[in-house]
Amino acid sequence: MSLLPPVVERTIESFEKLPGIGPKSAQRLVFYLLHMPKEEIERFAARLIALKSGTTRCSVCQTITDTDPCSICGNGRRDHSLICVVEQPTDILSIEKTGAYSGVYHVLHGVIDPLNNIGPEQIFIDALLARIKNAVPPVREIIFALNSNMEGEATIMYIQKQFTVHSSEQTVKVTRLAHGLPMGGDIEYADEVTLKRALEGRREY
Amino acid sequence: MSLLPPVVERTIESFEKLPGIGPKSAQRLVFYLLHMPKEEIERFAARLIALKSGTTRCSVCQTITDTDPCSICGNGRRDHSLICVVEQPTDILSIEKTGAYSGVYHVLHGVIDPLNNIGPEQIFIDALLARIKNAVPPVREIIFALNSNMEGEATIMYIQKQFTVHSSEQTVKVTRLAHGLPMGGDIEYADEVTLKRALEGRREY
């Protein structure tokens, strides 16, 4: 016997499908919503519905946008010969906030992850390769800004391999973000791998 | 300049209003939703809209329900002379799971919290007092199952005071959940207040 009205149970189920939200959090969110004014819930629902219809993918970099090309790809003052490859559109926000990057982006919308059935064809690798091949002006450098885990490394390796196969005539520099100590981080508390990378990547003053 | 489409920004704002969801989590949830099939988002939105219209408050115990009275208040086999006072409908679920309670409930939908402008009239205290006054058969015992913080204590004190004012002719037992060591809890790691309560509440074998 269930003690909750079916509509409450179903909304809890919908929230549980979201990442990082377990059964208890979902329950808490739904009961919070039940105390919200009807108009606010309806506004929330309308925004959810508009989420897909009000957005599109940029045909150049594949980010989520409301204009095609997106504001970065359509910006003539950005360096279009420099492509930073990221996993998610949100990574673009993080990099833009640094103010230190003037190139363009390419969003893979995921990384190769065989355990979760995500192969190269499920993410936008072909679009990246085609883009590099047909780029005018030619692409000068590709910066990989993927998370440094197994899946990220595998994705970089796969793309690099495809890249050497397809673009024997081009000379494109391939780089990746530096690993090292985070700013303000104590050497004492750094893990060995990070410290090893920081040593390997040491720079002259 | 914003890099996100307005509809994405607005949906992030809606998620940020929910408890326990900060700007980063909201962003993550919205980008997760952007990858979900359109139908699933629409189903989610429809459930949100149905949340208010598909539910009501039980006129007896004030819990969120789809039938009035709710399944517990309408159940003739429950002990209606025993009322357990809780803060939220979800607390009923937790207590029902124990299988150790056969009485009925009363949901306050909050506790007295002057710092957040929640006074006695914002929660269902009057409904509780009226219910006790007019109960047939008369109420035998009130069990307070509120969280043991300042607000919970203040609410219990306020209700008890109202109760002695209004019900001089009735003899209603007022109890509260026992405090003590959680099952499996180490004495070594128990805080002093809990340990003090456990000592005070000791029971004979």
Task: State the smallest CA–CA distance between residue B96 and chain A in angstroms.
Answer: 9
Give me the mean pLDDT over the B157-169 stretch.
75
pLDDT in tens, A94-112: 899 888 999 999 999 999 9
- Structure confidence at residue B169 (pLDDT): 54
Chain B: closest CA distance from residue A16 (Å): 11
Contact A47 B72 (CB under 8 A): no
A:B CB pairs within 8 Å = 142
What is residue B21's predicted lDDT score, i.e. its pLDDT? 93
Contact assignment for B43 to A14 by CB distance below 8 Å: yes
pLDDT value at A52 more than 90: no
- Cβ–Cβ under 8 Å, residues B33 and A47: no
Residue with structure tokens 């819930």?
A41
Chain A residue with Cα closest to B110: A35
Mean pLDDT over each residue of chain B, to the nearest integer: 88
Q: Which pLDDT value is given to residue A103? A: 94
Q: Which pLDDT score, from 0 to 100, does residue A35 have?
A: 87
Please tell me whether the overall predicted TM-score, pTM, comes out greater than 0.80 for this model.
no
Nearest CB to B47 within list A11, A51, A66: A11
Q: How many residues does chain A have?
A: 205
Residue-wise over B39-72: b if at least 16 C-beta within 10 A, else e? eebeebbbbbbbbbeebebbebbbbbbeeeebbb
Q: What percent of chain A has pLDDT over 90?
A: 54
Helix, strand or coil for residue A188?
Answer: helix
Residue A6 touches chain B, beta carbons under 8 Å: yes
Overall average pLDDT of the B61-78 stretch: 92
The confidence score (pLDDT) of residue A201 equals 82
- Chain A hits for B30, CB-CB cut-off 8 Å, are 51
pLDDT score, position B102:
92
Chain A residues touching B3 at Cβ < 8 A = 71-72, 92-93, 96
Q: Does the pLDDT of residue A162 top 90, yes or no?
A: no
For B159, how many CA atoms within 13 A lie in the half-sphere containing its CB?
A: 30
More confident residue, A166 or A9: A9
Split at pLDDT 50, 70, 90, the class of A163 is: confident
pLDDT at residue B165 in the model = 65
Examine the pLDDT at B131 and tell me if it is beyond 80: yes
Distance of alpha carbon A6 from alpha carbon A141, whole angstroms:
55
Binding-face residues of A in 49-78 toward B, CB within 8 A: 49-52, 54-55, 64-66, 71-72
* B83 contacts B107 by C-beta, under 8 angstroms: no
Give B116 to chain A, closest Cα distance, Å: 15
In the predicted model, is pLDDT for residue B166 greater than 70? no
Please, which pLDDT band fits residue A41 given cuts at 50, 70 and 90? very high
Chain A residue whose CA is closest to B63: A4
Ordered by where they begin, the domains of chain B are: 81-176 (3.40.1360.10)
Q: Which segments within chain B are labelled E, that is strand?
A: 56-57, 64-65, 79-86, 103-107, 141-144, 173-176
ipTM of the prediction: 0.77
pLDDT at A165: 65
Q: What's the CA gap between B55 and A11, in Å, rounded?
A: 12
Binary contact (A3, B48; C-beta < 8 A): no
pLDDT at position B167 is 57
pLDDT > 80? residue A171 = no
Sorting pLDDT into bands at 50, 70 and 90, what band is A8? very high
Nearest CA in chain B to A42: B49
Backbone conformation region of residue A184, classed left if phi is above 0, alpha if psi is from -120 to 50, else beta? left
Q: Identify the residue whose tokens are 């750094």.
A: A190
Contact A90, A107 (CB under 8 A): no
| Confidence category of residue A204, pLDDT binned at 50, 70, 90 | confident
Identify the CA nearest to A182 among candidates A172, A190, A170: A190
B7 vs A contacts (CB less than 8 Å): 47, 50-51, 54-55, 66
Task: Tell me which residue has tokens 């203040």.
Answer: B154
Higher pLDDT, A136 or A21: A21
CA dihedral (B79, B85, B87, B92) in degrees, to 10, reads -20
Over 70: is that where the pLDDT of B170 sits?
A: no
Indicate yes or no: CB of A5 within 8 angstroms of CB of B42.
no
pLDDT of A134: 87
Residue type (1 letter), A189: Y
